[in-house]
Amino acid sequence: MTGLTGCLLVSSMLFAIGLAGALTRRNTILVLVGIELMLNAANLNFIAFWRYGPRSGEPTGMIFVLFSIGVAAAEAAVGLALILAVYRHAKTTDLSQLTGGPQ
Amino acid sequence: MSVWIVRALWLIPVLPVLAAGMGALLKRNQRRLAATVAIGAMSISFVLAVVAFAHLLLAPERLFINFEWMQFGSEWLKLGWMLDPLAGAMLVMVTFVGLLIFIYSVAYMHHDENFTRFFCFLSLFAGAMLGLLIANSLLLLFMCWEVVGLTSYLLIGFWYERPAAAAAAKKAFITTRIGDLGLLLGMVWLYGQTGTLLFYDHGAGCLEAGVASTGIALLIFCGAVGKSGQLPLHVWLPDAMEGPTPVSALIHAATMVAAGVYLVARVYPLMTPQALEVVAWIGALTAIFAALVAVAQEDIKRILAYSTVSQLGYMMLGLGVGGVAVGVFHLIAHAFFKALLFLGAGSVIHGLMGEQDIREMGGVRKWMPVTFACYAVGTLALCGFPLFFSGFWSKDAILHAAYEWNVSRVPFYLGALGALLTAFYMTRQVCYVFFGKRRKGPVTEPVVPAETAASDPEEAAHESPAAMTTPLLLLAGFAVLLGFIGTPAWPWLQSFLEMEAASWDWHQLAENGLLSLMVASSLLVFAGLGLGWWLYGRKPIRHAGDQDALERLQPTVFYALKRGLFVDQLYAVTVLRLAWWIACVANWLERWVWGGIPVAVSALTKGLGWIDSSLDRWVVNKGFDEGCNSVADGGRLLAQLQDGRIQHYLRVLGAAVAALALFLLLGRRG
Cβ atoms of B537 and B433 within 8 Å: the answer is no
Main-chain dihedrals φ then ψ at residue B81, nearest 5 degrees: -125, 160
Q: pLDDT-derived band of residue B669, with 50, 70 and 90 as boundaries?
A: low
Q: pLDDT-derived band of residue B448, with 50, 70 and 90 as boundaries?
A: very low
Q: Is the pTM of this model over 0.90?
A: no
Q: Reduce the DSSP state of residue B324 to 3 states and report it.
A: helix
**Residue B646 contacts A where some CB pair is shorter than 8 Å:** yes
Residues 78-97 of B with CB under 8 A from A: none
Proportion of chain B above pLDDT 90, given as a percent: 22
Interchain CB distance below 8 Å, B646 and A31? yes
Q: Distance from B624 to chain A by nearest Cα, in Å? A: 35
Q: Average pLDDT for residues B625-630, to the nearest whole number? A: 92
> What is the C-alpha separation between B54 and B42, in angstroms, rounded?
18
Main-chain dihedrals φ then ψ at residue B195, nearest 5 degrees: 75, 10
Interchain CB distance below 8 Å, A23 and B646? no
Closest B-chain CA to A97: B645
**Residue B538 contacts A where some CB pair is shorter than 8 Å:** no
> What is the C-alpha separation between A63 and A54, in angstroms, rounded?
17
Domain residue ranges of chain A, discontinuous segments joined by +: 51-103
Q: Return the minimum-mean-pLDDT range out of A87-96, B347-356, B547-556.
A: B547-556
Q: Distance from A53 to chain B by nearest Cα, in Å? A: 21
Q: Reduce the DSSP state of residue B486 to 3 states and report it.
A: coil
Residue B441 has pLDDT above 50, yes or no: no
Cβ atoms of B138 and B197 within 8 Å: the answer is yes
How big is chain B, counted in residues?
670
Q: Reduce the DSSP state of residue B83 to 3 states and report it.
A: strand
**Residue A23 contacts B where some CB pair is shorter than 8 Å:** yes
> What is the C-alpha separation between B599 and B605, in angstroms, rounded?
10
Q: pLDDT-derived band of residue B445, with 50, 70 and 90 as boundaries?
A: very low
Q: Average pLDDT for residues A55-72, to the nearest whole number? A: 89
Q: Distance from A67 to chain B by nearest Cα, in Å? A: 25
Taking only the tens place, the pLDDT of each residue in B201-240 is: 887 788 877 777 888 889 999 999 998 888 888 888 888 8
Q: Return the minimum-mean-pLDDT range out of A72-81, B224-233, B361-370.
A: B361-370
Question: Which residues is B135 bridged to in the sheet?
Answer: B81
How many Å is the maximal CA-CA distance in chain B? 157
A23, A96, A99: residue with CB nearest B651: A23
Q: pLDDT-derived band of residue B455, with 50, 70 and 90 as boundaries?
A: very low
Residue B512 has pLDDT above 80, yes or no: no
Q: Distance from A95 to chain B by nearest Cα, in Å? A: 8
Interchain CB distance below 8 Å, B643 and A99? yes
Q: What is the residue-averaged pLDDT of chain B?
A: 84
How many Å is the maximal CA-CA distance in chain A? 55
**Residue A31 contacts B where some CB pair is shorter than 8 Å:** yes
Main-chain dihedrals φ then ψ at residue B137, nearest 5 degrees: -140, 135
Q: pLDDT-derived band of residue B273, with 50, 70 and 90 as boundaries?
A: confident
Nearest to A84 by CA among A94, A72, A93: A93
Burial of B203 (0-12, 13-18, 19+ CB in 10 A): exposed
B643, B645, B650: residue with CB nearest A22: B650
**Residue A44 contacts B where some CB pair is shorter than 8 Å:** no
Percent helix, strand, coil in chain A, to 5, is: 80, 0, 20
Q: pLDDT-derived band of residue B183, with 50, 70 and 90 as boundaries?
A: very high
Angstrom distances, CA of residue B442 to CA of B360, B438, B545, B571, B624: 8, 13, 8, 32, 88
**Residue A102 contacts B where some CB pair is shorter than 8 Å:** no
Nearest to B84 by CA among B279, B269, B337: B269
Highest averaged pLDDT of the listed ranges A39-48, B324-333, B490-499, B567-576: A39-48
Interchain CB distance below 8 Å, B650 and A23? yes
Burial of B511 (0-12, 13-18, 19+ CB in 10 A): exposed
Cβ atoms of B553 and B450 within 8 Å: the answer is no
Q: What is the pLDDT of residue B322?
A: 82
Residues of B in contact with A96 (CB under 8 A): 645
> What is the C-alpha separation between B315 and B328, in angstroms, rounded?
7
Write the DSSP assignment of B247-309 as a string of letters: HHHIIIIISHHHHHHHHHHHTGGG--HHHHHHHHHHHHHHHHHHHHHHTT--BHHHHHHHHHH
DSSP B533: I
**Residue B641 contacts A where some CB pair is shorter than 8 Å:** no
**Residue B647 contacts A where some CB pair is shorter than 8 Å:** yes
Q: pLDDT-derived band of residue B467, with 50, 70 and 90 as boundaries?
A: confident
Interchain CB distance below 8 Å, A101 and B643? yes
**Where do the DSSP E strands lie in B434-570?**
none
Mutate to test the interface with B, among A15, A23, A24 (most CBs of B within 10 A): A23
Task: Report how many Cβ contacts below 8 Å link chain A to chain B.
Answer: 21
Q: What is the pLDDT of residue B440?
A: 62
Nearest to B203 by CA among B193, B214, B194: B194
Q: How far is CA B347 from the centre of its chain?
A: 24
Interchain CB distance below 8 Å, A95 and B645? yes
